[in-house]
Amino acid sequence: MKIGIVLYPTFGGSGVVATELGKALARKGHEIHFITYSLPVRLDRLRENIYFHEVSVSDYPLFEHTPYEQVLTSKLVDVVKYENLDLLHCHYAIPHASAAYMAQQILKMQGIIIPFITTLHGTDITLVGKDPSFEPVITFSINQSTKVTAVSESLKRDTYNHFDVKREIDVIPNFICSQEYYLENNEKYKLRYAPNGELLVTHISNFRKVKRVGDVLEVFRGLLEKGVNAKLMLVGDGPERNKLERYCREWGICGKVMFLGSLKSTIEVLAISDLFILPSETESFGLAALEALASGVPVIASNTGGIPEVVEHGKSGYLSDVGNVSDMIENALKILSSNEALMEFKKAAKERSMKFDITNVLPLYEQLYEDAVAESRVIG
Ligand code: GMT
């Protein structure tokens, strides 16, 4: 099939999922056309069956803000028409789904039928979606999509609760390519970051408020106070970073905390980690937690949104109420209490992640694509 994938190219989870999905589909022989305003971060090199179409957003003297949705729509019309695409797959409702709808209508006038699928990722529904000014457009574009998917049951429920959507939403969970989560010689590599046998605790995010990275620091401080010999690796960057650096200085723990910045690949960091912390306020799925599990790293997380669909409490990690730092510390201590306990949790983490292996998830998308194309042929 010839598939256009519309995505955000940045470090956000939706962009990562969209890019990895496209790469996996391309490996299976589908022709993939990524359409967005800059090269997606995980599309690091030339690959067979993959094409990139840049939506160029130039500054027009007339506009204070360039109308991205219109430029994107024109690009979609162009790519569908000249690359003979079979369907568009939009990741994130705004503005991708509404642009796809507009492109669909323009192409219809020219006798071209193009179905489009919208995958809801979370912040488009739970945060941005709650802003009433977006509501009519999101509701409309969800209802007009040929097919709609959500990355968790929790997000599906949120969509029905917040929007006037009555149509079917398929849940297709996020995934990992498990064979990629393996690093040779990782013990040697670990010595660089933990030269005195420290346990490595990790957090990865875009450091926005919703991620509650301050809780990560508090849990880590709690572990140090309980005598755990550990270091903390913080991967990512964002608005909360200055505050975090200030806390580290005030609490005198700068020597134990490493700010590693936004990394294109997190596999190396996860491969040397012993514990992952994701204390988010809300999380439709928690791809970062799944990537940790895939590396055999148990997860301490908040019991919110789609996280309980990923992490099993007491097996591959522990879940606590949002903001309950002392419970998180207690749970982390249970995992780190002995080498045997840690090994057991690590094994369970890896096992849990296999449920979300790409080999289980890719056929669900392929089936959906076939259904969408068949349906649009009938309806026209
Ligand atoms: O979490 C973010 O800040 C990024 C955001 C995004 O839209 O890229 O992530 C959302 O989509 C991911 C991929 O489906 C999910 O794993 C994240 O849980 C979800 N984030 C939130 O719901 C806060």
pLDDT, one tens digit per residue, over 165-203 is 989 999 999 999 998 887 776 788 899 999 999 999 999
pLDDT at 13 over 80: yes
Cβ of 154 closer than 6 Å to ligand 1, yes or no, is no
pLDDT band at 243 (very low <50, low <70, confident <90, very high): very high
Distance 341 CA to ligand 1 centre (A): 30
pLDDT band at 380 (very low <50, low <70, confident <90, very high): low
pLDDT tens, position by position, 250-270: 999 999 999 999 998 899 999
**Candidate of 171, 287, 353 to mutate for ligand 1, largest count of ligand atoms within 8 Å of Cβ:** 287
Portion of the chain with pLDDT greater than 90, in percent = 84
Same-domain check for residues 140 and 192: no
Same-domain check for residues 363 and 282: no
Average pLDDT over residues 330-355: 97
Average pLDDT over residues 147-156: 98
How many Cβ atoms sit within 10 Å of the Cβ of residue 73? 22
Same-domain check for residues 75 and 134: yes
**Candidate of 20, 123, 309 to mutate for ligand 1, largest count of ligand atoms within 8 Å of Cβ:** 123
Cβ of 123 closer than 6 Å to ligand 1, yes or no, is yes
pLDDT at 129 over 70: no
Least confident of 53-62, 72-81, 267-276, 343-352: 53-62
pLDDT tens, position by position, 202-217: 999 999 999 999 999 9
Distance 94 CA to ligand 1 centre (A): 14
**Candidate of 284, 302, 353, 361 to mutate for ligand 1, largest count of ligand atoms within 8 Å of Cβ:** 284
- Give the structural domain span for 168: 2-175+358-379
Give the pTM: 0.94
pLDDT of residue 130: 67
Distance of alpha carbon 183 from the chain centroid: 22
Same-domain check for residues 12 and 150: yes
Same-domain check for residues 210 and 164: no
Same-domain check for residues 186 and 168: no
pLDDT at 128 over 70: no
Average pLDDT over residues 273-279: 98
Same-domain check for residues 256 and 142: no
Same-domain check for residues 143 and 18: yes
Would you state the structure tokens that stand for residue 187, as one six-digit string? Answer: 């013990």
Average pLDDT over all residues of the chain: 94
Comparison of pLDDT for 113 and 60, the residue scoring more: 113
Distance 120 CA to ligand 1 centre (A): 10
pLDDT of residue 65: 74
Distance 283 CA to ligand 1 centre (A): 6
Average pLDDT over residues 81-95: 96
**Candidate of 121, 151, 310 to mutate for ligand 1, largest count of ligand atoms within 8 Å of Cβ:** 121
Same-domain check for residues 81 and 223: no
CA-to-CA dists, residue 274 to 43, 120, 293, angstroms: 28, 31, 11
As for how many domains the chain has, the answer is: 2
Which atom of ligand 1 lies at the shortest distance from residue 306's CA? 18
Nearest CA to ligand 1 atom 14: 121
How many Cβ atoms sit within 10 Å of the Cβ of residue 351? 14
Average pLDDT over residues 35-64: 86
133: domain CATH number? Answer: 3.40.50.2000
User: In sequence order, which residues have a C-beta less than 8 Å from that of residue 50 and are 6 or more positions away?
Assistant: 22, 23, 26, 32, 34, 43
Distance 130 CA to ligand 1 centre (A): 15
pLDDT tens, position by position, 228-242: 999 999 999 999 999
Would you state the structure tokens that stand for residue 192, as one six-digit string? Answer: 């660089």
Same-domain check for residues 298 and 335: yes
Nearest CA to ligand 1 atom 2: 12
Same-domain check for residues 190 and 331: yes
pLDDT band at 152 (very low <50, low <70, confident <90, very high): very high
pLDDT of residue 264: 85
pLDDT band at 123 (very low <50, low <70, confident <90, very high): confident
pLDDT at 105 over 80: yes
Same-domain check for residues 186 and 121: no
pLDDT of residue 377: 81
Average pLDDT over residues 358-374: 97
Portion of the chain with pLDDT greater than 70, in percent = 98
